[in-house]
Amino acid sequence: MTAAEVSDSGPERIDVHRLPPEAYVRMTLVLRIGLGVALALLTGGIIAYVATNPGATSSTVLSTNPILAYLSFPGLASGLASGSIGAFLTLGLVVLIATPVLRVVSGMYYFRKGGEREMTAISFTVLVLLLLGLLVIGPYIR
């Protein structure tokens, strides 16, 4: 087949499933909202911590670890209810960590809905690896 014959017949079309553009917009929105909320919580928490502890140095903050008491759900809930700065810092970190997990879950949903089995399987594998790292491997490193 010559180059002229190829250009006359056009390139061969491959049937590719495409997600609707609003799916990509929604998946991007998950990241933007999650990052914005996490940054707002962390920035507000850091500003409040510095305002209430003006003489704190990095070594004193690290030695006291203001978020340690809020690493469980009951501790976080009671800390947020009491308005603890450490609880809001912890919540900011939780939102920051949960954002990519939610993005993968939303991607898996839209790929499944769009009939893209391979991308659904890849998203599921990424989700399993993320959760394995966060819930199984992470606690051993701590």
Is pTM beyond 0.85? Reply is: no
Letter string b/e over residues 97-130, b meaning 16 or more CB atoms within 10 A of that residue's CB: eebbbebbbbbbebbeeeebeebbeebbebbeee
pLDDT tens for 21-75 read: 888 888 899 999 999 999 999 999 999 988 988 887 878 777 888 788 898 899 9
Query: How many other CB atoms are there within 10 angstroms of residue 29's CB atom?
Result: 13
CA–CA gap between residue 101 and residue 89 (Å, rounded): 19
DSSP state letter for 126 = H
Residue spans per domain, the chain: 20-141
